[in-house]
Structure 1
């Protein structure tokens, strides 16, 4: 499990592609590698991956075809920056909301506003997933736990403070970029339960 509080930015060092499998070598800040072990879980842009080897400040991860199909990882190339979070431990503060690291879908950035001292990003989701997105609800974008701002049709936005921009890759997000989305599990369970009971959400 993860908390959605991004711990820092890592850099793709190398990508080795094979049929049905990509192997990523990712360089991390050394201070974030204490007590890391083979088999540990690390969220890369919100996607839970398993450490397969370590060499210095680099960790290696494998991503199978299903992961590449469901996420943006297949588009990563050497030099790209990614958000990361190591798995939560019992007793850790849950500063965001609980995440599994299992990506549901991707969204595309369709607009950016930059009012003073913050940034607003607007994303378009596949229609099937918009039923789980509500104003002031939780959503995870590239592994970061964020609060939804406004929702209009298939689009929603998030408002980012300077600290979030400093600690994540969102300061470099551009219109047209795709991001990984993990829907809040509690929201999904409630919506699906109400749907089964016949209380279908009306289109906005």
Structure 2
């Protein structure tokens, strides 16, 4: 992994939605990837998600803390073999709170409430994007909590399409996400539609040892 000649600054993409480029350093990226590889093992490991209409998501997924299925959460893999879901690691919660604080500091506005972030993050989705995988426009609306969502990227770069709260159509903004980037969206952007129309195969940092893209999305249930 090589450092950029001109580091990218933090950027508010929409009110409450903040890109934190390179927020995870090389060591943290390797640590998170090692965790993802462990979580991907059975039981309750990496799976293909089948939608109610019968279609399958091209992204494969692992749940932590609570099992996500369309469109809800459960303590076990209710749409699979019924295994207990893997434990949510406290380290992810620490990183998520720190990223929320960094996003608030970057904007200079209290988008997520007064003072340092005290959210009790307790669920996460690990999404693996292989060749040709994508994610359609959707919003994270299955959690009762309105706490900010924090997304960490590993491996291949992607186009992250961040839209509006009214529907899947325009206006939206296409944001490049690279390995190590964090993206925080909360406050007025918490229920905004978003997706990944494409990835850039082969763009992962060579030193990371990852083919494809991994996205870890941390939420409070």
TM-score w.r.t. the length of structure 1 is: 0.26
User: Which structure has more RCO (C-alpha within 8 Å, separation ≥ 6)?
Assistant: 2
TM-score w.r.t. the length of structure 2 is: 0.25
Highest CA radius of gyration, 1 or 2? 1
